[in-house]
């Protein structure tokens, strides 16, 4: 005898369909979370050119409030060592949470790696901790080795880099990118600038 199987209950299958849709969306959600982390910056200069560039002297600088933290104060003679150490890891792949040349870098992990090689003390990890542990300075006093901060995700101090001279900085930009240099007056970064700060003792 041929037994006809009952038709599937459409209502009973709905939760399974929804479950599959949620599972299918998880990889996209994970990617979005990575891009929202430290270094949610454009992967190339082409993306940066979508915004008009500000003229020199019209850099938008914010001064977000910060909690008090014991400042990092390093000897001024270590500036060039910091810049040299940063430049050695240019082209290292970006990795969220990374802080080694072998494992990759995010923006604050890169800064921690650079300064851990020249400092004999504990150092901040997150971009905000670096901002809290550094001293604000005017751009007219900017030197090699100082820190530049940006709001790239709607949150103050969400991205950072190390100044290497002539308003150029080295940083770990975003998922899929590599450690690279950019200009402070880049069309993407200029309107997102949160200020310059230093971890060096002023002369």
- Tens of pLDDT along 79-119? 999 999 999 999 999 999 999 999 999 999 999 999 999 98
With bands split at pLDDT 50, 70 and 90, how would you rate the model's confidence at 67?
low
Q: Which residues pair with 180 in a beta bridge?
A: 171
Mean pLDDT of the region 191-197: 95
Both tokens of 183, joined, read 């200009």
CATH number of 45-198: 3.90.1720.10
Q: How many residues does the chain have?
A: 203
* Catalytic residue of the set 38, 107, 163, 167: 107
Whether residue 137 has pLDDT greater than 80:
yes
Q: Is 38 noted as a catalytic residue in this protein?
A: no
Best mean pLDDT range from 7-21, 26-40, 121-135? 121-135
Closest-CA residue to 157 (of 43, 39, 42): 39
- Asked if residue 175 lies in contact with residue 35, where contact means CB atoms within 8 angstroms, the answer is yes
pLDDT of residue 83: 98
* Catalytic residue of the set 38, 159, 163, 167: 159
* Catalytic residue of the set 38, 163, 167, 171: 171
pLDDT of residue 41: 58
Q: Is 159 noted as a catalytic residue in this protein?
A: yes
- DSSP letter at 55 equals P
- Asked if residue 150 lies in contact with residue 159, where contact means CB atoms within 8 angstroms, the answer is yes
């Amino acid at each position: 005898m041929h037994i006809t199987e009952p038709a599937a209950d459409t209502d009973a299958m709905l939760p399974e369909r929804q479950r599959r849709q949620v599972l299918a969306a998880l990889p996209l959600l994970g990617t979005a979370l990575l891009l929202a982390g430290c270094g949610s910056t454009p992967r190339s200069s082409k993306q940066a050119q979508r915004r008009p560039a500000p003229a020199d002297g019209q850099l938008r600088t914010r001064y977000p409030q910060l909690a008090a933290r014991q400042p990092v104060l390093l000897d001024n003679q270590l500036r060039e060592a910091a810049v040299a150490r940063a430049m050695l890891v240019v082209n290292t792949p970006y990795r969220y949470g990374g802080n080694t040349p072998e494992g990759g870098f995010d923006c604050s992990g890169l800064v921690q790696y650079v300064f851990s090689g020249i400092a004999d003390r504990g150092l901040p990890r997150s971009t905000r901790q670096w901002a809290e542990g550094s001293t604000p300075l005017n751009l007219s006093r900017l030197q090699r080795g100082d820190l530049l901060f940006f709001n790239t995700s709607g949150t103050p101090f969400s991205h950072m880099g190390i100044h290497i001279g002539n308003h150029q900085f080295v940083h770990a930009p975003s998922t899929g990118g590599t450690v690279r240099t950019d200009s402070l007056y880049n069309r993407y970064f200029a309107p997102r600038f949160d200020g310059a700060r230093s971890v060096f003792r002023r002369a």
